[in-house]
Structure 1
Amino acid sequence: MKKILLSSTLCAVMAFGAADVLPSEKRTFAQSKFIPDISLIMDMSYVNRSVDDNEAQHLEVPGVAHGLLGSHSHGSDNHATYNASNGFNLNYAELVLSSSVDPFFTMDGVFHFSENGVEIEELFFTSTALGYGTRVKGGKFNSNFGYLNEQHHHYWDFADMPLVYESFLGMHGINEKGVQLQWTAPTSTYLMLGAEILQGENEQMFGNEEIDLTKINATASLEKTSAADAPSLFVTYAKTSFDIQDTTILAGLSYAWGESRIDHTEDEESPHAISADSKIYGADLVIKHYFDSYSSLKWQSEWMMRDMDGILYANSGGAFKASDLTKKQAGLYSQLVYAYNQNWKVGARYDTIYQNDVKVNGQDRNMPTNMDKYSAMLEYSTSEFARFRLQYDHNNALFNEDNVRQNIDTIIFQVNISIGAHGAHSF
């Protein structure tokens, strides 16, 4: 009798397949269950700027930053901003992979493809089971400093980064390798505290590599500056949010500090280098009122102040010399965006750098202030996957090599289209 039952079972397995009768742990591996969410985002633009591309590359915010328009070179590296050239720009293709690893972790990867190459924009794991409102993230990621820094370009309300962000932190913001710890309080009002330990490679504000000053000093009297001990950048922040009927308010305070090793010794126009201790303070406020499910009015503002104290290595009287350097600079942006419905948006933004105190060997360099930029945009989305934006900028924050303020008008038509499954963005 037992032989008959066994024979019947084997026949059933052969007839209907082992997966139909065998225990789940012995079934064939189901690959489809482990495929991550995948999305691909394309961003391109058409630009009409009132200055030609060659002239744009040589403009700067005096004492603050250069290379904010067009492409520019630092030694053997070439950097192109978004909407870099007059005419058509293929800004990037963004490939995103995201999935749960197991009950304890998730992993996300964001890869940027451009005509110049491929880079890992973000690649990090996030804990999901620590409890007590605690979360740990590790890898390469956008810092939670401020409000805009964590967001990707395709989620911005404007086609370009605010002036104070790009001037102080560069077009990628604080995007670093490191570890992040966040704690959310068990309260009815949202309160989150966070801290990050980062490598410190931000080229606009921080940086930790050794600078070979002998390249710019024929007499070799200047020696190499030592590299900063990595990790060399530390970030802390506090964020809170609450609702008043149909209005959501989000506010935050941020602080970042670290060592700066800024190597522009191979710049064509004004080779120099900076070795300093640096701090940056930030405050952000976002107020969003919902008229209905698709209509809203959003006011978003951020203020930043940076403080640098160190040594400037620059040309003085035909030779490179070391001078004491201090910088105290501040700026902000404020924008208002009205979503009429799920298809149409209109917005305006004001940018300014209003403080620009630069002293070399205690002497004020009398840098210009009140460097402003005005933007307006109209956006149409056929769906959440396709967005078309027309933007106008008037920029009087940039100066040419003769230190003459320029008034630059720019029209940008941006196309942003995505396919696949893409995770929801935070408020």
Structure 2
Amino acid sequence: MKKILLSSALCATLVYGADVLPVEKRTFDQSKFIPDISLVMDASYVDRSVKDAEVGHLEVPGVVHGLLGSHSHGDDNHATYNAENGFNLNYAELVLSSSVDPFFTMDGIFHFSENGVEIEELFFTSNALGHGTKLKGGKFNSNFGYLNEHHHHSWDFADMPLVYESFLGMHGINEVGAQIQWTAPTPFYLMAGFEILQGENEQMFGKETIGDVENPIAEGEDGPALYVGYIKASHDIGDTTILGGISYAQGTSRIDHSADAENPHAFSGDAKLYGADFVLLHSLDSYSSIKWQSEYLERELDGTQFALDVDGNVTGSPSMLKKQSGLYSQLIYTHDKNWKMGLRYDTILKNDVTKAGFDVEQPDGLDKYTAMVEYHTSEFARFRLQYSQDYAMFNEDGQREKINTIILQANISIGAHGAHSF
């Protein structure tokens, strides 16, 4: 017995020094939790039927402008993915992920581009509350809908669906805040979640003051200004998995285009967003599958539209009500571990705009059609050829532009990268 105690004391001395510490005071061994590190590169070659100088001026009437190409709002310059004809280095994504201790994990996703560096996501997660409850805090992609939580490099197409980017911008709902989720103890997957977010979305939600602080066009809000809730369920039937969900988001809206060179304006009001998603995945064998994925979004913007002159002075402030909806539906066939192909249909279904109590007529047929085929050399590298016809864009003269786009995309990663959610 004495020999055993002496050996234990000797080991403790070697690890912790001459003064042997009691177990509860020993230093946590962080070396056992070295982060997983990965780097993702996304590049593309684009051949678009509209010149770069013109594409930034196109709009989806009554919904949004500046979806394609690079565009500016004041001092901010935004470049969408696949922005220019020719070669594009869209981004490099650096991912760090690790357990912190027995109670928390932490993930960081950093985007590097030729314009700078931004924190895409940085959050902690804890399952320590038990009872099927998970807590998340930091900056993260909301679990609203289906596609929103997925990163660009895991999408099945090189660009975001029309309705998502039109309503929420190319980053979707990506916010600072807190999230709590509860998974029910049911024989099938059933999860409910709630999020309190700061509310700084580029297309729909916002809370910043517009104009001069002392004499603002629209006053801002303090504290969190966006609330998101959702319920998701999934069930397996043989080789088929069915996933569905409903989502709701509500918050204040501040859209500041006061520095636009053409038609400066701003919007202040309230915003609501409803979502329904459905995914069906049928496995044919170990590598082959068919996946049908669809989402429907409907939004309501209710507030005041401010018309401005070039000096930023308000020239009009009529009430504005927008009730708009749209969907995308895509079918993906995975042939084997190397080849995949797919089709996607996008549309804006409803585009009702009321200004100062009067209906504003909007064009219909805001559709887009996309096809793609991709080849994987391995799970770390894939190359995609994509073609689309876009009938949703109009020029400054109110004429529809038929936009044909060919994209050759390369997406390559190195390092250890966690699996993406289904």
Query: Same fold by TM-score, threshold 0.5 exceeded?
Result: yes
Match of 2:321 in 1: 326
Q: 1:58 to 1:213 in 2, by over 3 A?
A: farther
1:199-238 alignment runs, 5 A limit:
199-212=198-211, 223-238=216-231
What secondary structure sits across from 2:172 in the alignment? coil
1:194 touches 1:236 (CA, 8 Å); kept in 2?
Answer: yes
Gaps of 5+ in 2: none
Match of 2:53 in 1: 54
1:374 has 2:373 as partner: no
What secondary structure sits across from 1:367 in the alignment? coil
Q: 1:242 to 1:314 in 2, by over 3 A?
A: same
1:272 has 2:271 as partner: no
1:18 touches 1:27 (CA, 8 Å); kept in 2?
Answer: no
1:9-408 alignment runs, 5 A limit:
18=14, 32-212=31-211, 223-314=216-307, 320-408=315-403
What secondary structure sits across from 2:83 in the alignment? coil
- Per the TM alignment, residue 27 of structure 1 is displaced from its structure 2 partner at its CA by 10
Q: Which amino acid aligns with 2:199?
A: G
Structure 1 Cα separation of the partners of residues 415 and 26 of structure 2: 29
1:311 touches 1:322 (CA, 8 Å); kept in 2?
Answer: yes
Runs of 4 or more off by more than 2 Å in structure 1? 17-34
Range with bigger deviation, 32-41 or 416-425: 32-41
Structure 1 Cα separation of the partners of residues 221 and 361 of structure 2: 30
Structure 2 Cα separation of the partners of residues 51 and 235 of structure 1: 37
2:258 touches 2:308 (CA, 8 Å); kept in 1?
Answer: no
How many residue pairs match? The answer is: 410
Structure 2 Cα separation of the partners of residues 20 and 177 of structure 1: 40
Gaps of 5+ in 1: 215-219
Computing the radius of gyration over CA atoms, which structure comes out larger, 1 or 2? 1
- Per the TM alignment, residue 130 of structure 1 is displaced from its structure 2 partner at its CA by 1.1
Question: Could you give the per-residue CA deviations for residues 17-67 of structure 1, whole angstroms, max 9, x where no partner exists?
Answer: 946999897999976423200000000000000011011011010111111
Q: CA RMSD, aligned part only? A: 2.5
Structure 2 Cα separation of the partners of residues 425 and 153 of structure 1: 11
Q: 1:33 to 1:373 in 2, by over 3 A?
A: same
TM-score (norm. length: structure 2)? 0.92
Q: Which amino acid aligns with 2:384?
A: R
Q: 1:179 to 1:319 in 2, by over 3 A?
A: closer
Q: Which amino acid aligns with 2:241?
A: T
Structure 2 Cα separation of the partners of residues 393 and 284 of structure 1: 23
1:103 touches 1:128 (CA, 8 Å); kept in 2?
Answer: no
What secondary structure sits across from 1:161 in the alignment? coil
Structure 1 Cα separation of the partners of residues 287 and 63 of structure 2: 40
- Per the TM alignment, residue 128 of structure 1 is displaced from its structure 2 partner at its CA by 2.2
Question: Could you give the per-residue CA deviations for residues 377-416 of structure 1, whole angstroms, max 9, x where no partner exists?
Answer: 0000011100000000100100000010000000000000
- Per the TM alignment, residue 370 of structure 1 is displaced from its structure 2 partner at its CA by 2.2
What secondary structure sits across from 1:397 in the alignment? strand
- Per the TM alignment, residue 269 of structure 1 is displaced from its structure 2 partner at its CA by 1.4
Q: 1:102 to 1:371 in 2, by over 3 A?
A: same
